[in-house]
Amino acid sequence: MLIPALILFLSSLAASLVFTWLARRAAARLGLMDQPGHRKVHTQVTPRNGGIGIFWGIALPLLAGLAVLFVFPADRLAAWLPVAARPHIAGLLAHRHLALLLLAATLGIHLLGLLDDRKALAAWPKLLAQLACAIALVGVGELLNRGAFRTLTFFDDLFPGGFWVSATLSVLWIVALTNAFNFLDNMDGLSAGVAFLCAGLFLIAAASGAEPQWFICALLLLFMGSVLGFLCYNFPPASIFMGDGGSMVLGFFLSALTIRTTYYHPNQGWYAVLMPLVILAVPLYDLVVVSIIRILQGRSPFVGDTNHFSHRLTRHGFSKRGAVLVIYAVTLACGISAPLLAKADESQALLIGVQCASMLLVIGILERVGEHTANQPAAKPAAGEDAKGDKP
């Protein structure tokens, strides 16, 4: 399966590189330039329509693949595909409508983000539009295939109303992750890099499970190739930002794939379903903590500020690139053991959970101590030293 995997990854990478370059050139004419401001960390006017590259990096190869699946019969496909891929033709044909639905819903969230990048939308209409896209994905998916984009489907038979609990949690999960990666898009290379790492961990989980999930693997490879292509322009110092048209695509598309992925099998522990929480611990942590801070300060959680994890790191002395690399490392440290949950016993699963919780606890402590220290008056230089603490 290595050759098909490389084709998927490289095709999305190439498409993303080209469309991000085109978006950067067209940003000024489209009125999609990001101006420096009081809560911005950049100092130069920068294009903010890189989400176009991310979306089309996923969409273009996916549309090409779907066109082939819809036009040609199975026997013709078998003659073209590598031998290793031929046993999966039936699965590809069965999933083509779901892939088309996912792409259509992602297009909706992408257009919403571009509209917000063009002219800032009010928080509640934007949230309602996100909910509409998520409900459409879950609802239409249910018509195509029971539980297609719905998590915890075993609730259906567990208690009355289980279906509606499952559907509601699925919609909330999609919207939460959509906003988590939107919140995380506050520094060059941060949201895209974390999304790439999380997708890589989900790829390991989907490929190494009791039953490898090749449909999920294929979409994750497209996602990772597209994100990496954009990251070539966005890693600090960035020449283009993704904007909401990109950050919301990251969260929306990845959340849908986490729902489609099967984590639990009858011969495994129930805790395997917690894998997404462990892998996505950092973006979820940032979403929750920043929202709580804003609410405690009497402000809307949707009004931007500089209280994110990355901003705090820079206030503690890290460079922007250093802060981004630290968060990459924390993301890996939290999620690297998550794919093992599918094969772990109870004690091993507990250790994985403790590892993740400990990392988040350390982050929380360092943030609080650092903020406390940063707010203290500067110490007077000792005798014989200048204001920088150096010998004169």
Residue among 1, 3, 5, 2 at smallest CA distance from 222: 5
Tokens for 155, please give them: 């609730």
pTM of the model: 0.90
Peptide linkage before 73 cis (omega within 30 of 0): no
d(CA 171, CA 120): 24
221 to 136, 224, 226: CA distances (angstroms): 24, 5, 9
pLDDT at 377: 46
Tell me the H-state helices in 41-122: 51-71, 74-80, 89-118
Q: In sequence order, what are the beta bridge partners of 47?
A: 33
Range of the domain at 248: 2-265
Give alpha helix (H) positions in 235-345.
244-260, 275-279, 281-296, 309-315, 320-335
Residue stretches of the chain with pLDDT short of 50 = 372-392
Q: CA 109, CA 252: separation in Å to the nearest integer? A: 8
pLDDT number for residue 137? 97
Residue 389 lies in a domain: no
In a domain, 94, yes or no: yes
Tell me: the pLDDT tens digits for 168-209?
Answer: 999 999 999 999 999 999 899 999 999 999 999 999 999 987
| Rg value, the chain, Cα | 22
Is residue 377 one of the residues assigned to a domain?
Answer: no
pLDDT of residue 317: 82
Distance CA 295, CA 287 (A): 12
Which pLDDT score is estimated for 43?
Answer: 60
Quote the pLDDT of residue 309: 84
Q: Which residue has the tokens 């295939």?
A: 145
Q: Which helix (H) or strand (E) holds 197?
A: helix 190-208
**Residue 179 maps to a domain:** yes
Q: Is residue 307 part of a domain?
A: no
Within the chain, how many helices (H) and strands (E) appear?
14, 2
How many CB atoms neighbour CB 284 within 10 A?
19
pLDDT by residue (tens digit) across 148-175? 999 988 899 888 999 999 999 999 999 9
- DSSP annotation string for 100-114: HHHHHHHHHHHHHHH
In a domain, 21, yes or no: yes
Residue 63 lies in a domain: yes
Q: Cα–Cα–Cα angle for 266, 269, 275, nearest 5°?
A: 110
Structural domain total, the chain: 1
d(CA 3, CA 179): 35
Unique residue bearing structure tokens 């809560």 = 39
Contacts of residue 360, defined as CB under 8 A and 6 or more positions apart, other chains included, come to 281, 285, 334
Instruction: Report whether 176 contacts 284 (CB < 8 A).
Output: yes
CB distance 283 to 228 below 8 Å:
no
What pLDDT is stored for residue 389 in this prediction?
Answer: 40
Q: Please give the pLDDT value at position 369.
A: 66
